[in-house]
C-alpha cells in the first residue's frame, strides 16, 4: 500500500483522499491483525512520512509496520523507531540517488533491517533500467559495507527479520556464533 505520495504537485482534496484511504486500511489491518506495508514518497522532504506517522500515532501505533523503500533522514528514522513493531526496507535507491540519506542505513537497528529489490523499479545499477530480484545482491553488498558487517551475516539477519515480521517459519538453523537474538 502506498500510504502517502507527495511526489508531485498535490491538491488538498487529493491529500485528504489519501489520508482517508490510509485510515480505512489501518482499521482493516487492526481488525484482522495484518502487517502494514507503507511507502511514503515526498521527494526527500519527509512531509509524507511525518503525516503518516501522525495518523499512526492517533490510535494505530501497536500495528506492525514495514517502511518499504525507506530513504528517510536519521531524524525520520528515530521517529519511526519509536513505534514498537517496525522494520525498514532498503532498496538499491540509495546506491544511485544522491537525495537518499544513506547515513540512516547504518542507524537502523539490526532486528529492524530488511533488504528489498523493489523490482521492477529502483534498479541499483545504472546499466539496467528494469530492476530484477537478482540485483538484490548489489543492495546487500552495499549495505554490508555501509554497516561494516560481513555479507553472509547481513543476509542471514535481513532474511530472519523478514521471516519473523511476516510470520513465516524458519527452515534452517542460525550459526552458533551469533548468540542470543532480539525477540
Q: Is the pTM of this model over 0.85?
A: no
Burial of residue 73, with CB atoms counted within 10 A of its CB: 0-12 exposed, 13-18 middle, 19 or more buried = middle
- Within a domain: 147: yes
- Within a domain: 48: yes
In order along its 183 residues, the chain shows pLDDT tens digits of 445 445 455 556 677 888 999 999 999 999 999 999 999 987 667 788 999 999 999 999 999 999 998 988 999 999 999 999 999 999 887 777 655 567 899 999 999 999 998 756 666 666 667 777 788 888 899 999 999 999 999 999 999 999 999 999 988 666 655 555 555
Say how many domains are in the chain.
Answer: 1
Range of the structural domain that residue 101 is part of: 18-168
- Within a domain: 49: yes
- Within a domain: 158: yes
Q: What grid cell was written down for 125?
A: 545499477
- Within a domain: 51: yes
- Within a domain: 4: no
- Within a domain: 103: yes
CATH of the domain at 43: 3.20.20.140
Amino acid at each position: 500500500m502506498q500510504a502517502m505520495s507527495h511526489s508531485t504537485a498535490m491538491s488538498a482534496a487529493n491529500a485528504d483522499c489519501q489520508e482517508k484511504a490510509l485510515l480505512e486500511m489501518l482499521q482493516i489491518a487492526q481488525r484482522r491483525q495484518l502487517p502494514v506495508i507503507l511507502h511514503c514518497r515526498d521527494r526527500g522532504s519527509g512531509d509524507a512520512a511525518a503525516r503518516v506517522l501522525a495518523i499512526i500515532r492517533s490510535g494505530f501505533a501497536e500495528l506492525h509496520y514495514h517502511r518499504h523503500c525507506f530513504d528517510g533522514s536519521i531524524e525520520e528514522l528515530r521517529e519511526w523507531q519509536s513505534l514498537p513493531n517496525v522494520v525498514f526496507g532498503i532498496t538499491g535507491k540509495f546506491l544511485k540517488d544522491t537525495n537518499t540519506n544513506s547515513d540512516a542505513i547504518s542507524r537502523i537497528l539490526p532486528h529492524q533491517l530488511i533488504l528489498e529489490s523493489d523490482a521492477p523499479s529502483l534498479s541499483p545499477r545504472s546499466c539496467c533500467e528494469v530492476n530484477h530480484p537478482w540485483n538484490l545482491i548489489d543492495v546487500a553488498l552495499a549495505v554490508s559495507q555501509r554497516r561494516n558487517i560481513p555479507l553472509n551475516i547481513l543476509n542471514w539477519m535481513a532474511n530472519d527479520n523478514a521471516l519473523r515480521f511476516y510470520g513465516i517459519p524458519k527452515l534452517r538453523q542460525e550459526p552458533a556464533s551469533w548468540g542470543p537474538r532480539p525477540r
